[in-house]
A and B are shown apart, each in its own frame.
Chain A
Amino acid sequence: QVQLVESGGGLVKPGGSLRLSCAASGFTFSDYYMSWIRQAPGKGLEWVSYISSSNTTIYYADSVKGRFTISRDNAKNSLYLQMNSLRVEDTAVYYCAKGNYLADYWGQGTLVTVSS
């Protein structure tokens, strides 16, 4: 069965960096787009970024463009999100999801807290 397991969340100060990882299993990872979606505390969902199977197509929400970098390692069945220049408003649960416009499987999420 499809499994997506995020890691790398934690507490970081404003301006700091964090790298999230997502380990995928149960499907042919290299065949699919992958996404990061976040939910700030008490707020709705925001589609943060997605990457194509071969890294040729990448999307970023305006709110993270220039600060976040999505990447993947198909040999390791892993998805990453490098987050730099973090802001308080980046505080959220970050979900890894399979797909780029239809998230048919999600992980349980990892909490990122940006606070001084």
Chain B
Amino acid sequence: DIQMTQSPSSLSASVGDRVTITCQASQDINNYLNWYQLKPGKAPKLLIYDASNLETGVPSRFSGSGSGTDFTFTISSLQPEDIATYYCQQYDNLPPWTFGQGTKVEIK
């Protein structure tokens, strides 16, 4: 199975800060990587697909980049409503599709 190593596991930042999360795959996954946002009691939300494509309706402060084994997710200007846990997920070749361990984002 492909392992996804996501870091940091948590972070605290101020409103307006730039926030960066990384995800590393245990093998080349091309650009087959998605990013999701999870908030307690709410339906999880797809933010980025195929490493860098913004899902329709998602604010442009969210972005993704990378290819191969190393990927980055960025919130350009952190907003209070962005408090959540973020997960990367790979879907290269055959299942199982695997997720990173998650990054909990809090406001300082």
Given contacts A44-B100, A61-B96, contact A101 B91 (CB under 8 A): yes
A107 at the binding interface (Cβ < 8 Å): yes
| A101 vs B34: C-alpha distance when bound (angstroms) | 9
Q: Which residues of B have CB within 8 Å of A107? A: 43
Given contacts A101-B91, A104-B55, contact A46 B99 (CB under 8 A): yes
What residue in chain A is nearest B46 (Cβ atoms)? A104
Interface residues of A in 47-75 (CB under 8 A from B): 47, 50, 59, 61-62
Count: A-B pairs, CB below 8 Å: 53
Interface SS, B side? loop
A45 at the binding interface (Cβ < 8 Å): yes
User: Count of chain B residues with Cβ under 8 Å from any Cβ of A?
Assistant: 23
User: Count of chain A residues with Cβ under 8 Å from any Cβ of B?
Assistant: 21
A-B CB proximity, top 3 nearest: A101-B91, A45-B99, A106-B44
Which positions in B face A, CB cutoff 8 Å?
32, 34, 36, 38, 41-46, 49, 55, 87, 89, 91, 95-102
Q: Is B87 a contact of A45 with CB atoms below 8 Å?
A: yes
Q: List 19 A-B contacts (CB under 8 A).
A: A44-B100, A44-B101, A45-B102, A47-B89, A47-B95, A47-B96, A47-B97, A47-B99, A59-B96, A95-B43, A101-B32, A102-B46, A102-B49, A103-B46, A104-B46, A104-B49, A105-B46, A106-B44, A108-B43
